[in-house]
Structure 1
């Protein structure tokens, strides 16, 4: 059964890790948002990662070799763990992230088969607060804290 996990990437090597993981047929999700900034007196929108050093990966965890293959991938440091085993990320959290990161306002209704809408919208509320945080380090800490408190 495929499950989502969170990995920590080397600083400024997320694109490399993403490319190497997708070459290994590992499903990856690297959430980004649009941010407005001013440069030389001009307003400019750019896409930035919500949490720059983190990426979600989805694979069949029945095969123990995938854990070591992912950890050995260039750009990847390790899995995020709470205890000795990597923390599984709830599917509702991934769907909530996809809905927040969607610039077209795409609906998440089609993907949430078997998920409780209450938990899905609860994650959307929490993520809305995190996304509004301007300081990247605070945003990452809030995100990891939310993940540590979530139940799978």
Structure 2
């Protein structure tokens, strides 16, 4: 039986891990979303991992050992429950695949504020500060302008730390 597992990869090495695991006979999956970014001064649409640094993997443990998978270039380790790698629901992985095929992740980014929206940060190290939304930022997902010591400073903030519209 082939169970699905979740791997934590070294920063920005998901593709390397997937290529090397594929060569060894493992099936890998990491969902990606299309994100608008400014690259070299031009706006473009780029693919980014939905879960940065994480890859779902399934393999036959009789043909490929856990140690071999963990030692693959780009892989840091399995996500574990105690000493054993955590098994991920097959249904979860296939639902992620289905949503990616149907572009169902787009709704996740529709709820982001628009540039210039005034907000109050609800969590994190900047909790309670007034902020002005600037733009989406790959991994962190949002750049905000906050007032620190009477000066506006641009910081990157997790979307979970946002959003309480300031009236």
TM-score (normalizing by structure 1): 0.64
Deviations 1:4-54 (A, max 9, x none): 000011112111111110000110112101112345775421111011200
Poorly superposed stretches of 4+, deviation over 2 Å: 36-44, 128-139
**Aligned mates of 1:42, 1:81 — CA distance in 2:** 41
In 1: Cα distance, 2:6 partner to 2:87 partner: 7
- 1:70–1:91 Cα change, 3 Å: same
Question: What is the alpha-carbon root mean square deviation over aligned residues?
Answer: 3.0
Residue aligned with 1:55, SS = strand
SS of equivalent to 1:70:
helix
Higher RCO (CA < 8 A, seq sep 6+): 1
| Number of residues of Structure 1 aligned to a counterpart in Structure 2 | 117
Q: Which residue of 1 aligns with 2:33?
A: 33
User: Aligned with 1:96: secondary structure?
Assistant: helix
Task: Tell me the distance in 2 between the aligned counterparts of 1:73 and 1:40.
Answer: 33
Match of 1:22 in 2: 22
- The residue that corresponds to 1:68 in the other structure is 67
Question: Which one has a bigger Cα radius of gyration?
Answer: 2
- Of Structure 1 and Structure 2, which has the larger fraction of its residues in helix? 1
State the match for 1:100 in structure 2: 99
**After the TM superposition, which residues 38-49 of structure 1 pair with which residues of structure 2 at under 5 Å, given as runs?**
38=38, 43-49=43-49
Whole-angstrom distance in 1 between the partners of 2:2 and 2:73: 22
Normalising to structure 2: TM-score of the pair? 0.59
